[in-house]
Structure 1
């Protein structure tokens, strides 16, 4: 590793007289190699995605349509192929306890697609609205760490009080609150992870977030199976209470992004964090604290308006065009990414195994994402999106006669959209500078969530015809995928800190 510089004067003497040093270049030299302190920080930050995944997919079990059977006294008028809505209530019964899911507890077996899809759609509406209202907090007053902590804590608390729901309407209101609270977790986790490591580790450390998300997804079938004879409310308690304990631990041990602190003019705090990293590295033969670079102070926090990051985006034409293209792309990928696993109940397979199979697709997806570090972002996203769309369209037309083939195609499509989703989130980090990075990441996620809002309704209609679920998923992701062609390639670039630096760098590249 190259020797770190001690001051700006030394930095200029190393052949940089023609242009001033960027903040990214100086922080890169301070961070040094990837030591155990950064490993611990990365694990703690990314662990928030474990609980985020649980709340995102918990409705697979809590809102499912339970199995039913004909009662022995009315076999002549009832069969397994009968329409449950046309049978007398006395002629059939649920296979399990009546409080197994919200469908059986509140007698929603014959309710409209709007009613049955309302809770999960409310969850995504909450995410969508909160993203616009809260996105700028992490870039301005609260910072990445505090926003992550508050989002995860309030999400877990809101989830725990969902057990007091007395109707589908109250339950939907709680789901809206959970979605509102968790909206910033993904963006804050990813930004905080990538801003605290050197660029050669940026793509790889982000994979940790996907690993924790996958583990959270995989934990749901186990929790649901253990509680298979209990009410749906027990699932919310099993997932929310551990989340509260995690938040307390994370708040104590996780440090803030030094990049964000410097952008806020809080140089002493930033230097303390960087010195802690350097001290650890010095013990292992890395960067010495005495040779830690001196970083210039940025503008003070008092001069930073709350919505300055949003203003910067909308007054800069290239940034606005880039953001719109990212949001169109996110809309299609997001609808399918959450739609396919939420649709597993319509496949006709064991719901526990179906979720396990889908969750396991996340593993090869983040492995693929890891190896895509050295690949161009645009063709990677486009290729995976097209593959997903084609598989979804085939699923929509083959019907239920070839269930094994349909399951395999659904798994391939989910693997493809997972890979596209993973690369997209990292791609957004690289497309925008530090001053607006959390805001743009949040807005890209809002586009993803906006697509998710419609998924529950399509899934409910898909119980009757796959064209309303897989067909729409396929057409949507294929249509949105080509917006990636309007974006610039970012493979191997250094992160910029201001809009001006980003413009200068790209003008030189062009």
Structure 2
């Protein structure tokens, strides 16, 4: 009986000691990151530039896959502006501009089904879906955040240059699939890397920087497309691919890795050198804590108990052997998912986030692609949509002091209502502005959602879980091109479906916690303690 009491007391003492170490470790990393100095600002800029090129690839189909305008070559009673082009002889009409202006005109898809015309962009999103699944854990394990971003940008750009040699819609769709596969990790890795480079106080600011560059890339497309309005669609891919290739080299030379990820991999010296550089260039801390204190503290702490090994459930003997070998964990792909599924809160939280992303993502990515259905100037319509990203970023910044759940709920419901109004309203001019309002609400909800999903999970599984959440977003996008193609004849199939889905997705917020003001967890032990549970490891 006495032995049992002693064992229980000893276990309690060990648990308290471990909790104290983990909390102190997290606090010291926060202090090491310090205030938002020039070094962190420049790093955020360098990382976020990848989103500029990513957004261009994401929305380039607005112009390259558009259904171009045409005119009658002999104005007879059989050929009018309201005629069905498929019922007219080829000699009685012609495209406005060159026949290679878009893939529709070059590949002769003017009478193709909605499945064929929507196939290229749907293939792109399928590539994103598969890429997110297969590449999800590489940024958490062997490659890291930085290398994953560089490889994704490089491969995406190279394939974008190859796509100009497509001779039919099938080859074009296959290459779009590869582009989607390669760029699938860019947005997730960029956001995670930014969140881990700054302290809790500046996470929202870092996220806003990424959103600004994503918006800038989207806004640049109308200008590039208008400058090449009388040129083949292939020119667009060339003009957006060459700068991205140059960025890959610059990022390789100047972007630094996440200090949190380095610590998780046991690379303490590299992490502390990075933290020292950050701290020396940051504003002085009010509490006077120096990076030297942080470094000395971490040297005293047994890092093998603090890296991602604590994400896995191990016996004392196994942990002892791993300390001797200094082995970095997570060599097995998706071991992080297995660990998450063993928790009581992990599966419910993951399903909730994926359900939320499905609805928000379909509207956020679907609305810009649907501007061709509005019977409005396509260049101006894209500009109006892109301009909404700017006030959305401003609003998102001020929402940093509001609850994440409430912000997402209000703007998601607002976007859904506007989508449904687009189905009912008949005036094309008014419909354009209602669609723009819907996109603004979806943008804001999506911005908050991206930050929210990063805050819900610890570092050791963060990139994997964020990628899974993005998979849900992309899964909804796979069906968007088909809905948009069908919506050319009836808006109910596009805007109506968008509205119902985004409103329905907000129900998943009931199963998710609030994260505003909460520090990021690094290990599964820390997250378990936040959830009020015993840690997974001793």
TM-score range normalised by the length of the shorter chain: over 0.9
Partner of 2:372: 345
Separation in 2 of the partners of 1:396 and 1:452? 20
CA offsets 1:438-477 (integer angstroms, 9 cap, x no match): 0111111110000000000000001001001101101111
Tell me whether 1:390 sits opposite 2:391 in the alignment.
no
- 1:212 matched residue in structure 2: 213
2:464 maps to 1:439:
yes
Q: Is contact 1:275–1:292 with CA below 8 Å preserved after alignment?
A: no
Indicate conservation of the 8 Å contact 2:35/2:283, yes or no: no
Query: 1: CA distance between counterparts of 2:96 and 2:257?
Result: 50
1:423 corresponds to 2:425: no
In 1, Cα distance between equivalents of 2:241 and 2:211: 20
Q: How far did 1:283 drift?
A: 9.2
Check conservation: 2:28, 2:294, Cα contact below 8 A: no
Instruction: Please state if 1:460 is matched with 2:462.
Output: no
Deviations 1:204-259 (A, max 9, x none): 11111100000000000000011111100000000011000011001100000010
Q: Deviations over 1:176-205 (max 9, x none)?
A: 000000000011000000101010000111
Partner residue in 1 for 2:529: 504
Tell me how far apart the structure 2 counterparts of residues 283 and 388 of structure 1 sit (CA, whole Å): 43
Question: Which residue among 312, 330, 340 is the counterpart of 1:313?
Answer: 340
Task: State the partner residue of 2:13.
Answer: none
Counterpart of 1:143 in structure 2 is 144
Distance 1:312 1:67, change over 3 A: same
Residue 277 of structure 1, CA deviation: 1.3
The Cα shift of 1:20 comes to 2.7
Aligned to 2:69: 67
> Shift of residue 497 of structure 1?
1.1
Alignment partner of 1:76 is 2:77: yes
State the secondary structure of the residue aligned to 1:29.
helix
Structure 2: segments with no counterpart, 5+ residues: 1-16, 308-325, 534-538
Q: What is the CA-CA distance between 1:289 and the residue it aligns to? A: 4.8
Deviation at 1:288?
4.7
Deviation at 1:311? Answer: 1.3
Aligned to 1:5: none
Other-structure match for 2:328: 302
- 8 Å contact from structure 1 (residues 279, 287) kept in 2: no
Give 1:70 deviation, angstroms. Answer: 0.5
Gaps of 5+ in 1: 1-15
Aligned to 1:134: 135
Is this contact kept in 2: 1:63–1:102, CA < 8 A? yes
What CA deviation, in whole Å up to 9, does each residue of 1:334-366 have, x standing for no partner?
Answer: 111111000001111111100000001111111
Provide the rounded CA distance (Å) in 2 between the counterparts of 1:260 and 1:477.
34
Matched residue, 2:515 = 490
Does the CA-based 8 Å contact 1:137-1:147 persist in structure 2? Answer: yes
| Secondary structure, aligned partner of 2:140 | coil
The verdict on how the C-alpha distance between 1:55 and 1:405 changes in structure 2, with shifts beyond 3 A counting, is same
Please state how far the C-alpha of 1:314 moved relative to its aligned partner: 2.0
Structure number with greater Rg is 2
List aligned pairs for 1:190-205, cutoff 5 A.
190-205=191-206
Shift of 1:74: 4.4
Counterparts of residues 13-52 of structure 1 (less than 5 Å): 19-22=20-23, 23-52=25-54
- Normalising by structure 2, what TM-score? 0.89
> Where do residues 91-240 of structure 1 align in structure 2 (5 Å cutoff)?
91-240=92-241
d(CA) in 2 for partners of 1:17 and 1:504?
11
SS in 2 for 1:81: coil
How far apart, in 2, do the equivalents of 1:479 and 1:35 lie? 41
The Cα shift of 1:278 comes to: 2.3
List per-residue Cα deviations over 1:109-153 (Å, max 9, x = no partner): 110000000000000000001111100000111111111111111
Equivalent in the alignment of 1:362: 389
1:26 Cα deviation from its structure 2 partner = 1.3
1:56-75 CA deviation, whole Å, 9 max, x = no partner?
0000000000000011x342
Moved more, 242-251 or 494-503: 494-503
2:59 aligns with 57
Residues 163/287 of structure 1: CA separation in 2 closer, same or farther (3 Å cut): farther
SS of equivalent to 2:503: helix
Which residue in 1 is equivalent to 2:312? none
Distance 2:356 2:85 in 1: 40
Counterpart position of 1:326: 353
Aligned to 1:336: 363
Q: Choose 252-261 or 278-287, whichever is displaced more.
A: 278-287
TM-score, with normalisation over the residues of structure 1?
Answer: 0.93
